[in-house]
Amino acid sequence: MSWAPDSWRSCEALQQPHYPDADALAAAERELAAYPPLVSLRDVDALKAAIGAAQAGRAFLLQGGDCAESFAEFSSENIDANVSLLAAMAARIAAASGLATIPVGRMAGQFAKPRSMPFETRGGTSLPAYRGDIVNGIAFDAAARRPDPERMFRAYAQAAATVNRIEGAAYTSHEALLLPFEQALVRTDPATGRFYGASAHFLWIGDRTRFPGSAHVEFARGLANPIGVKCGPALAPDMLLALLDILDPGREAGRITLIARMGHARAAAALPPLLRAVRGSGHPVLWSCDPMHGNTVRTRGGYKTRPLEHILAETKAFFAAAAAEGVACGGLHFEMSGRDVAECTGLGVTLSEADMADRYHSHCDPRLNPAQAMALADLVAEALGNADRLDPPVLAGGAA
Ligand code: PEP
Ligand code: CO
């Protein structure tokens, strides 16, 4: 089957906003299609080569940042804090493991969010769900929630300024969810004729949109970028192998990163069949552990949180399952903030009223704060084999 930047349009596209003004959407797509790429295509190639080295056991992929970037939280202070935390985690893991670490931010484009329900109802009023700042506003009023294509320009500008600020300290990545935007950012390499998703170095397909026949899989299939696939508990081994055949028929080094997010209670049982099936298929993949998205729970007040002890438990279970199957855990995927937020519980965060009043800021899922993120980095450093040089992570007070 031939591929084109718009061939996804004849497939099933889940999680897309309904734009009431189709002409405005088409005009925005045309305008964006003429804009400069947000990343250099040669840097995309460099990241793919680096992930290839990680697949061969010579490097470790460290991918983290906000669940959702927002227009409101855009500042050089926030960007710098996230980049510094990623660097501190990378240094810890590199020192303990002797592996080169590849820092990749969930940054400079992580704006669009999949939602469990298309509408949100409060007090008898139903409005379109918030789908991230690139689509609509988080405030619960009809004007804010109306999907507005003009928001794509602000997202583009914020991503461009963020790339500029990061300046080589990390590669960029996001979920390639909002397909009209992603298509508008496809660029061709004049030297080879290959197509690149030029909105970020690394793009991933979310757990809700990675089914065979999905528009997101069709879109990613034709891009030269390294591609991530989120693997949740509903993913069967034969379905994963079918996805690998579609996304990486040429079995290219560095092409595929599988990001497992099973939840701490399911990881030990769910991972081995997938690890075994992929190993048996001979597809070269990088297995990465996302210990965040399977461990989201609600507080009594209805806020989303994640207990650090569950995040650490899933990470341990991942390393154990990978070791038992003779597969390397070559990456970590997480949501964190370089600011001292109180969103995940543990290491002193209890989500008390005071925490909720001024330290809970996430636009979407709860993020690790710097102390919690370093505890996770310690655990990974230990699991990669040089535990003796480090103190084991200690969970002090407040773990939920
Ligand atoms: C995410 O990474 O923010 C996300 C929504 O993940 P998943 O697709 O794994 O649920
Ligand atoms: Co998230």
What is the 3 state secondary structure string of 192-208?
A: CCCEEECCCCEEEECCC
State yes or no: pLDDT of 392 exceeds 50: no
Q: pLDDT (tens digit, 9 = 90+) per residue, 243-285?
A: 999 999 999 999 999 999 999 999 999 999 999 999 999 999 9
Question: Which of 293, 295, 365 to mutate to test ligand 1, by most ligand atoms within 8 A of the CB atom?
Answer: 293
For residue 258, the SS3 value is strand
At 377 the pLDDT is 98
Query: In the numeric block, which tokens belong to residue 93?
Result: 């893991």
Query: In the numeric block, which tokens belong to residue 285?
Result: 């993949």
State yes or no: pLDDT of 386 exceeds 60: no
State yes or no: pLDDT of 286 exceeds 50: yes
Q: pLDDT (tens digit, 9 = 90+) per residue, 111-151?
A: 999 999 999 999 999 999 999 999 999 999 999 999 999 99
Q: If you measure from the C-alpha of residue 386 to the centroid of ligand 1, how many angstroms do you get, rounded to a whole number?
A: 30
Residue with the smallest CA separation from ligand 1 atom 4 is 206
Strand-pair category, 304-305 with 297-298: antiparallel
| pTM, full prediction | 0.95
Q: pLDDT (tens digit, 9 = 90+) per residue, 207-236?
A: 999 998 999 999 999 999 999 999 999 999
For residue 341, the SS3 value is coil
State yes or no: pLDDT of 395 exceeds 70: no
DSSP secondary structure letters along 277-334: HHHHHT--EEEEE--STT--EE-TTS-EE-BHHHHHHHHHHHHHHHHHTT--EEEEEE
Question: Which of 111, 115, 130, 208 to mutate to test ligand 1, by most ligand atoms within 8 A of the CB atom?
Answer: 208
Which residue from 180, 178, 162, 176 is spatially nearest to 24, judged by alpha carbons? 180
HSE on the CB side for 292, CA within 13 Å?
27
